[in-house]
Amino acid sequence: MVRIRTGNWEGKDIVLGWFVRDAMGQSYESTGRTSGVDLSAKQPHELLIQLGGALAVLLSVVLTAIQWSQSSGNLGNQLSSVMTGLLLNVVLGGTLWVASAVMRKNLMNGAIVAGVVSAIMIVFGGQPGTIGGLVGMLGAVLAAASPYLPWSHRK
């Protein structure tokens, strides 16, 4: 057991735990909170929308890097379209992440935002935007339909 001498007027010690690693694992910021992301606590539609955003961002970064490497770092006249696609997919992919956070407060508002952003990604995002947008759209449809599904009425 780890004790810290406080020297207060009551003469009591603060007991931190049985092992030093138990005592050192908690700080003022992390007391009572989990440090990692609990994926089992998230709804499937929320995970799908986050996956769509992550796919759009990661695929557009990888495809931009591939195009950049094949042109020896000089994209020339393609630079404008490549950077526009990258910027569009990064911004809209991040917006899908925000839409999944909005869903925790209001399910339908988040589903509408995710559906609109996914549709824009499908139309204007190129190949990475189409892939991420389809996954995001699937999550938005699932979110909009989730109040009407039979397993959502458990008490």
Q: What is the pLDDT along the chain (155 residues), one digit of tens a residue?
A: 555 555 555 556 555 555 545 445 545 555 555 555 677 778 888 999 999 999 999 999 998 888 877 776 566 666 777 788 899 999 999 999 999 989 888 999 999 999 999 999 999 988 999 999 999 999 999 999 988 888 766 54
137 — phi, psi (to 5°)?
Answer: -65, -40
Half-sphere exposure of residue 106, counting CA atoms within 13 Å on the CB side?
Answer: 5
Instruction: Give the C-alpha separation, 93 to 96, whole Å.
Output: 5
Q: How many CB atoms lie within 10 A of CB 131?
A: 19
Q: Is the pTM of this model over 0.75?
A: no
pLDDT for res 111: 93
CB 117 within 8 A of CB 88: no
How far, in Å, CA of 111 to CA of 131, rounded?
A: 18
Helix (H, G, I), strand (E, B), or coil: what is residue 15? strand
